[in-house]
Chain A
Amino acid sequence: MSCTQLTPFIIPERKKRRKLQADYVKDHGGKENYYRLAGLYALENNVPDAIQWLNMAFLNGFRKFGVLAQDESFDKIRDSEDYKQLLKKYLEPYF
């Protein structure tokens, strides 16, 4: 079954799917996984969850600031105060 055929069935189940992803990430861990889950929430403009998972990624050693700066998934939340504060918190010690 192709993705096109699946799409109408998948979209209404987005919340359920997101929960599955969150469970998967909790089970498997990993900074990259936390980062990508944050990206998914950011795509949906869900700032609190995006910030929470991005924070988790940083706490677990994610430090690819350049990648984050250019990642289009985070474009929607880049102007939010929480995102700026989070970046400031992790970058400040290095200046």
Chain B
Amino acid sequence: MRFVLFFLSCLSFFDCSGQTVQDYLQSGSEKYKQYQIKEAISDYRQALVLDSNNIAAYYALGEAESWRMSYDSAIYFYTKSIRMSDNSTYGLFNRGRTYYYKGDYEKALNDFNQLIGREEKFLPLNAEVRAIIRYRAHHFYGAIDDLTKVINDRAYVQDLFLRARCYQHTNQDSLAHEDFAALIREEQQNNHVLYSAYAFYYSGKKEKA
């Protein structure tokens, strides 16, 4: 009897084509990398048919659905993976980002607040993404706080640019111009022009929150 049960449990990880869950995940991931999203999704779903508790498959489905802008499905799959993996940081990060792409800023902020609340050491990427979400949600002061921490850690031109825009929205024009000037200097040193162009475009504009 034990042998039969063992045999049946093994059988559930294979389908009639002899492919295992790992095979489907592997081929799905390869197709995803080549932008064959439809085919990748079908492989991930096959993996779920064989093992309905596979966290990696839910997570991969979330990624693929988010890629093709099916945000509701992506959120569904990420939520499944988060619940099954006891609030995984990857799941929270990606679900938060998907909520942001969908335009649901408050839920996106909830996920990032949870994520940042659990950090043992400061991770600039999380703070940077939360700042972008706060900016779009018009929480400009919160965004400035996050960006200041990020810039103190590592100054990238896009962070300077976004902080300058936040300063403009909160009528702190002199601070905005300092950031614009800093990013222009930074780009000149690296022989880049593109964020400087944005800086020149926006530095002539007055904005109100």
Q: Which residues of A contact B (CB under 8 A)?
A: 2-4, 6-7, 10-11, 14, 17-18, 20-21, 24-25, 33, 36-37, 39-40, 43-44, 63, 65-66, 69-70, 72-73, 91, 93-95
Contact = CB atoms under 8 A, between A and B. Distances in A.
B interface secondary structure, majority: helix
B66 to A, nearest CB: 7
A17 B197 contact: yes
Main secondary structure of the interface of A (DSSP, over half): helix
B177 to A, nearest CB: 4
Interface size on B, as a range, is 20 to 34
Interface of B: 35, 37-38, 66-69, 97-98, 100-101, 103, 132, 136, 174, 177-178, 180-181, 184, 193-195, 197-201, 203-204
Given A7-B204, A70-B100, A95-B38, A24 B193 contact: yes
B180 A40 contact: no
B203 A4 contact: yes
11 contacts: A4-B174, A4-B181, A7-B204, A24-B194, A25-B194, A39-B198, A40-B201, A63-B67, A66-B101, A73-B198, A94-B67
Contacts of A93: 38
Contacts of A7: 200, 203-204
